[in-house]
Amino acid sequence: MSPRSKRSSLAANPVLIGAATVLIALVAVVLAYNANSGLPFVKTYNFKAEIPDASGLIVGNDVRKGGSRVGFVSAITPREGTDGSTGATIDIKLDQKNGPIPADSRIEVRPKSVLGLKYVQLTSGRSERMLQAGRTIPLRYAGGKPVELDDLFNTFDEPTRKASAENLNEFGTALAGRGDELNETIAGLRPLLISAEPALRNLTDPSTGFARLFPALERVAAEVAPVAQSQANLITGLRQTFTALDRVRGPLQETIAYGPEALQAGITEFPQQARFMRSSTELFRRLRPAFASLANASPGLAGAFEAGTPALRRSPALNRRLVTTLRTLEDFGTDDRTLQGLAQLGGTARILKPTVEYIKPAQTTCNYITLLTRNLAKVLSVTTQNGSSLFTGPVILPEVPDSEGGPAAKPANGPVKGPPEPPRAPTGRLIDSFLHSNPYPYTAAPGQPNECEAGNEVYVPGKQVIGNTPADEGVITEDQKVGAK
């Protein structure tokens, strides 16, 4: 069989043709399936990039540079920052001819269509240092999170739509029927623009140097930038200072308000002090002989200094021993419990202040506390072999109805008939029975008359007196030489 006939027989074999067709189809399917992961035997330039949010990005999305596809996303990995923030790290494969890229290149996730398809925008940086394969572009070179379509739609929520409708209605109502006024307003702006034209022309004239204004501001900002932190610390310190001043603004305002009076007092008093200074000068002039006589007194002073020197030498040791005591006092003074105790003492003092103010005149005006202690001392001063003695004197009152000598149905108030005295008639005799009681006498306390009534009440005969007596007993008590009303 000739070779030509043999080749014709292989081409005519349907089994071989079908097998070749299936093999080609399988290769095409494999290539199509792996197209998003890169074609085999094609060299790539691989690196990673940190982004704040994958934002719907999926493996296989395009990586574009200048609008052209230069690679694809091969992997997406979640990332957690040291400060607790979250993000993602994406693996990017570029065609070998598009790498390497500058180390400060910018990565940004951008939408490709309204349906949510994304791609990665790669913008080359200006750094002369190139990013090595396998290295990572840090997060600071990543763009912001892209605005999603649902985020855009969510801005027009029901309150926003309602407010927009109200704004359109209000603005429409405000402008409706006011065409003439608007025309007059616009016509009135013409003189303003005509007058503003020469001013703006002068402002933009090269001789004014207006073009150098913003570069100069830029240079000023550049010079201030190195001390920005110092300025910030200064502002922080000023804030603390002003906060402290705010707490004392009341006393500070009062101090400022009294300033003119203080200045006026200085104007008035300084001339008087000048006379005092002149007098002092004369005094020291007259003391010069006395100072000169110190030479004669120096032997005696030398003896005093000699006696005092050992004591002064022992003073450092005493000072060292006092250090522990002073530290203990300092710890006691700064202890929270001490401060709390002082605060509670202050509260106690505030609580006791009304009581003390009420009781104070009983001693400062009426001398009652001193009299009480004196009388108590007298009670205990008389002693016998069995102990102290207290002398008492009974007051015997007649037992008549409603008298002060026993239980009564009502306070005694008037003359009553008592038992008869033999040998008189059985009609009895009249007895004056008037109750005199002053349970809370005046002690010159606040709200009371300036009167020391306790122990000084004047007996009013023939009249019932319950409470304070009508007379003014003054403020003189026993052992007081002078009293004032």
Say if residue 138 is in the same domain as residue 171.
Answer: no
Say if residue 191 is in the same domain as residue 127.
Answer: no
Say if residue 126 is in the same domain as residue 184.
Answer: no
Say if residue 134 is in the same domain as residue 72.
Answer: yes
Provide the total of helices (H) and of strands (E) in the chain, helices listed first: 11, 13
Say if residue 443 is in the same domain as residue 469.
Answer: yes
447 within some domain: yes
Query: End of a domain among 112, 138, 153?
Result: 153
Q: Tens of pLDDT along 211-268?
A: 888 888 888 888 888 888 888 888 888 888 888 888 887 887 888 888 888 888 888 8
388 within some domain: no
DSSP letter (8 states) at residue 130: B
- Gap between the Cα atoms of 204 and 212, Å rounded: 11
Residue 148 or 347, more confident: 347
467 within some domain: yes
Structural domain tally of the chain? 3
Q: What is the mean pLDDT of the chain?
A: 80
φ, ψ of residue 51 to 5 degrees: the values are -130, 155
- 423 preceded by cis ω (within 30°)? yes
Say if residue 127 is in the same domain as residue 182.
Answer: no
Are 94 and 62 in contact, with CB atoms under 8 Å apart? no
Say if residue 116 is in the same domain as residue 198.
Answer: no
- Gap between the Cα atoms of 458 and 140, Å rounded: 99
- Gap between the Cα atoms of 193 and 195, Å rounded: 5
Query: Is the four-CA dihedral 93, 94, 99, 102 of positive or negative sign?
Result: negative
- Gap between the Cα atoms of 249 and 37, Å rounded: 72
- Gap between the Cα atoms of 373 and 351, Å rounded: 26
Six-digit token pair at 348? 């106690």
Radius of gyration for the chain, computed over Cα atoms and rounded to the nearest angstrom: 55
Q: Tens of pLDDT along 273-300?
A: 888 888 899 988 888 888 888 777 888 7
Six-digit token pair at 371? 């009299």
Six-digit token pair at 122? 């790669």
Count of residues making up the chain: 485
Query: End of a domain among 167, 182, 208?
Result: 208
Domain span at residue 373 reads: 367-380+410-418+428-485
Say if residue 138 is in the same domain as residue 172.
Answer: no
- Measure CA 422 to chain center: 93
Q: If you average pLDDT over residues 451-460, what whole number do you get?
A: 86
Say if residue 39 is in the same domain as residue 147.
Answer: yes
Say if residue 72 is in the same domain as residue 137.
Answer: yes
User: Which residue(s) pair with 433 in the sheet?
Assistant: 414
Q: If you average pLDDT over residues 350-366, what whole number do you get?
A: 88
User: What is the number of other CB atoms lying within 10 angstroms of the CB of residue 456?
Assistant: 19
Say if residue 77 is in the same domain as residue 183.
Answer: no
φ, ψ of residue 145 to 5 degrees: the values are -70, 130
- Gap between the Cα atoms of 238 and 246, Å rounded: 12
291 within some domain: no
| pLDDT of residue 485 exceeding 50 | no
User: What is the model's pLDDT at position 324?
Assistant: 87
Say if residue 121 is in the same domain as residue 195.
Answer: no
Q: Tens of pLDDT along 68-121?
A: 888 889 898 888 878 778 888 999 998 888 878 898 899 888 887 766 788 888
| pLDDT of residue 8 exceeding 60 | no
344 within some domain: no
